[in-house]
Amino acid sequence: MTVHRTKLLIVGAGPAGYTAAIYGARANLQPLLVTGLQPGGQLTITTEVENYPGFARAIQGPDLVEQMREQAEHVGTRILSDTIVSVDLSGRPFEAVGDSGDTYRADTLVAATGAQARWLGLPFELAFNGAGVSACATCDGFFYRGKEVVVVGGGNTAVEEALYLANLAAKVTVVHRRDRFRAEPILQYRLAAHPRIAVVWNHVVEEILGQDEPVKAVTGVRLRDVGSGDTRDLAADGVFVAIGHDPATALFRGQVEMEAGGYIRISPWSTRTSVPGFFGAGDCAESVYRQAVVAAGMGCMAALEAEKFLADHAADAAVRVEERSTRAMIGAYV
């Protein structure tokens, strides 16, 4: 078992984590990044990324993550393939323990653990992920211009996704298992007034329909009436699952203030948390936009704030040493 000591520990290897590592390394903090179970986060299950700045042509999600990793290593980040299983934020240095048995001690810590979309749990859902099934309209809606799509869900997320997609798709059908939405009234009003949005009430998606040849693609969904049990097929080019996200923050629960839903609470226009020296970046602390570029920006903020935190504490420590030295000198002459 090894004990790793670092000024900056980053937990998570998505856009937030790698960007924090890049900025931390350039600030000479010698960051250590622990990848976790799914290095790259949700980008690893994303096919073409067209909205990340700097790439004139679409780049595959896994390729984008790999370039981030290479850049972080190039500027001096140590990257370890381990999964953090426990964290102690009760005092500094913070201490984390990996599944490997290794211990990590850090003066500052950035949580970049991300979030995961909730899925329906259907047999072909993951099989067609990236080939017609998505959990992010902002990410993938562009590919369904002029096509017909299905949105599954009944909360704010589902209605907002449907409204966004209605600006691109020829038709949007929202499938909800109940007879009314949970979304805010203003969102419901906008959805009801939109000519390209239809709603199928009291139904659930029982199966994703698709083809493997000549191109792997979704062709529709099989719906089941929750009352009668009757089924029917609905043609569609894409299915957007919008039943919420779960932030990966169980490690920190009970040790730091959190928002509803388990997101780490951060200060406005900052990544600072209720624990000094502990910062939250990306989808584990931000539930509104859920975009790679936003996560990367937060990773930058976290590293810069960690650098300032360490500098301020070093300055405070120097002042205390000088004060003690001064008092000792005065005592010697009294």
The pLDDT averaged over each successive group of 10 residues in the chain (334 residues) is 96 96 97 89 75 90 93 97 96 96 98 91 86 88 95 92 94 96 92 96 95 90 96 96 92 95 96 98 91 95 98 73 56 57
* pLDDT value of position 93: 96
The answer to whether residue 230 is catalytic is: no
If DSSP codes are grouped into helix, strand and coil, which group holds residue 74? helix
Question: What pLDDT score does 323 carry?
Answer: 54
Q: Indicate which residue of 63, 88, 107, 139 is catalytic.
A: 139
User: Which amino acid is residue 206, in one-letter code?
Assistant: E
Coil, helix or strand at residue 107: strand
Output the pLDDT for position 49. 84
What is the pLDDT, as a whole number, of residue 317? Answer: 60
Kindly provide the b/e burial profile for residues 190-216, where b requires at least 16 CB atoms within 10 angstroms of the residue's own CB: bbeeeeebebbeebbbebbbbeeeeee
Q: Buried b vs exposed e over 232-263: b needs ≥16 C-beta within 10 Å? A: eebebbbbbbbbbbebbbebbeebbebeeebb
CA angle 50, 53, 57 (to 5 degrees): 40
> What angle is formed at CA 256 by the lines to CA 117 and CA 156, rounded to 5 degrees?
35
Strand order in the sheet with 148-152: 133-134, 238-241, 148-152, 171-175, 197-200
Counting Cα atoms < 13 Å in the Cβ hemisphere of 15 gives 21
pLDDT at res. 62? 87
In 3-state terms, what secondary structure has residue 155?
coil
- Amino acid in position 154: G
Amino acid 60: pLDDT: 87
Contact 222, 230 (CB under 8 A): no
Concatenating the DSSP letter of every residue in 184-242 gives -HHHHHHHHH-TTEEEE-SEEEEEEEEE-SSS-EEEEEEEEETTT--EEEEE-SEEEE-
Bridge pairing between strands 78-80 and 148-152: unpaired
Task: Using DSSP bridges, classify how beta strands 197-200 and 278-280 pair: parallel, antiparallel or unpaired.
Answer: unpaired
In this structure, what token pair is assigned to residue 277? 């020296």
Give me the phi and psi of 14, to 5 degrees please.
-105, -165
140 is catalytic: yes
> Nearest 5°: CA angle at 128, between 49 and 15?
30
Calpha distance 91→106 (Å, rounded): 10
pLDDT reported for residue 39: 80
Q: Which is catalytic among the residues 107, 140, 237, 283?
A: 140
Residue 191: which of 222, 216, 164, 223 has the closest Cα? 164
222 DSSP β-pair partners? 207, 233
Give the whole-angstrom CA distance, residue 256 versus residue 262: 10
pLDDT of residue 312: 94
* Catalytic (active site) residue 136: yes
